[in-house]
Amino acid sequence: MNNEQLEKIIKDKIDEALKNSEHPKKFFVTENGRGVVDGGDLYNALLKDVLGVVQNALVGILAEVVAGKAVKEAVTDNVSKVVKQTVSKVVTKK
């Protein structure tokens, strides 16, 4: 699985979770005392930025995990082959 596939899966899951969640009625109070209401431009921009950071972090984390798993599987496969070859050589020498 490459980074583009991971990115698509993560984006789809984040979009689904966002769609199924309730947003706060008031997000925060601005410097001039006005509240940023759910669905407003500032709220949506901030939410998009935060979710973008989370998505990029998850892609990086999962890419490392998948790469680590692939390396572990490759090492395990190679060790298994070496053990089989060694056992085969020992058995044929008898």
pLDDT tens by residue, 9-42: 888 988 888 888 876 666 666 777 666 666 677 7
Q: What is the mean pLDDT of the chain?
A: 75
Evaluate whether residue 33 is within a structural domain: yes
- Position 36 scores a pLDDT of 64
Evaluate whether residue 81 is within a structural domain: no
Evaluate whether residue 22 is within a structural domain: yes
Evaluate whether residue 57 is within a structural domain: yes
Provide the number of structural domains found in the chain. 1
Sign of CA dihedral 29, 32, 33, 36: negative
Evaluate whether residue 14 is within a structural domain: yes
Helix H or strand E segment including 36? strand 35-37
User: Residues for the chain: how many in total?
Assistant: 94
pLDDT above 80 (res 61): yes
Domain of 14? Answer: 3-69
